[in-house]
Amino acid sequence: MSQPVVVDTVVALRAQIRDWRLHGLSVAMVPTMGALHDGHISLVRAALSTADRCIVSIFVNPAQFAPTEDLDKYPRQMARDLDRLAEAGAHLAFTPTVSEMYPTGFATKISVGGPSAGLESDFRPTFFQGVATVVAKLFLQALPDRAIFGEKDYQQLCVVRKLCRDLDLPVDIVGAPTVRDGHGLAMSSRNAYLGAAELGVARQLNVILRQAAAALAAGTDESSVTAKAAAALLEAGFDRVDYVAARESLTLAPWRRASDGRLLAAAWLGRTRLIDNVEVSSFIP
């Protein structure tokens, strides 16, 4: 087991990639904010299955946190992350500082329309601007052949795809299935905030979403299904529900029964916000 090469500047990143390209090697990238869990590692393995070299970026991006959010408390565990990347076989870890990514005088922001509208944006209005800006920078810094994103952050995946299409960024975006624990809870770095009792509640999120998706696929009225799902989450012990909503899979436009879709939800347990989504099959009466 060898440790990945670790670089923290764009110059060093590009030098390593330049060497790989001279040897005809393809490159895949996995953008992360660290605190790596099995879901991240599954993305690394997906990257390694499609490219000769795998880069993992570890950067807690301040641009996607609102002033009231958990930037300072977000888990950081670089040594453990590098060990996990070594075990997974990643070739390079890009670990830039905030000043490397956003040097003094940085003033550019990227806003992506379409799939960014609603859902997360209703509650985190600057989130996708921060995501789009940092992802565009990472792609231009590394110019990977493809990048792997987890479907757990489904709206983010759609926004990144739209970003690349609209700006002609030559990066193939690959969505990887959500990795869950033995009880169905989607892996997330923020799960570390949850105590044992809260984990028991959190594990009901996916159960309730799957029941709601089955009801939608069977033809039950959408507004009734989403309202009942939100009520069920509160009854299960969640403190607040931001949304439960059905959307078309590709565009995140309002779901139509003749199209495949996603049922997405965000809910709070104490100070921890959890998101998840499940597929909704098309329904043709």
Phi and psi torsions of 282, nearest 5°? -65, 150
23 among the known binding-site residues?
Answer: no
Determine if residue 35 is labeled as part of a ligand binding site: yes
- Tokens at 132, concatenated: 């789009």
Q: CA-to-CA distance for 28 and 174, rounded, in angstroms?
A: 10
The Cα-based distances of 166 to 63, 157, 171 in angstroms read 21, 14, 12
Is residue 175 part of an annotated ligand binding site?
no
Residue type, 49: S
The Cα–Cα gap between 65 and 70 comes to: 7
- Tell whether residue 101 is among the known ligand binding residues: no
Q: Is 37 annotated to bind ligand?
A: yes
Contact between 266 and 243 (Cβ < 8 Å): yes
3 is in an annotated binding site: no
- Identify whether the C-beta of residue 242 lies closer than 8 Å to the C-beta of residue 267: yes
Strands 53-58 and 92-94, by their bridges, are: parallel
Give Cα 76 distance to the centre of its chain: 17
* 40 catalytically annotated: yes
Find out whether 228 is annotated in a ligand binding site: no
Q: How far apart are CA 19 and CA 127, in angstroms?
A: 35
Question: Do the annotations mark residue 109 as ligand-binding?
Answer: no
Q: Is 53 annotated among the ligand-binding residues?
A: no
222 is in an annotated binding site: no
Asked whether residue 91 is marked as a ligand-binding residue, the answer is: no
Residue 151 assigned ligand-binding role: yes
Active-site pick, 23, 40, 91, 183: 40
Q: Which two tokens stand for residue 171?
A: 């990066």
CB 94 within 8 A of CB 58: yes
- Return binding residues for ATP: 33-40, 150-153, 179, 187-190
- Return binding residues for beta-alanine: 64
- Return binding residues for (R)-pantoate: 64, 156
Would you name the residues annotated as active-site residues? 40
- Return binding residues: 33-40, 64, 150-153, 156, 179, 187-190
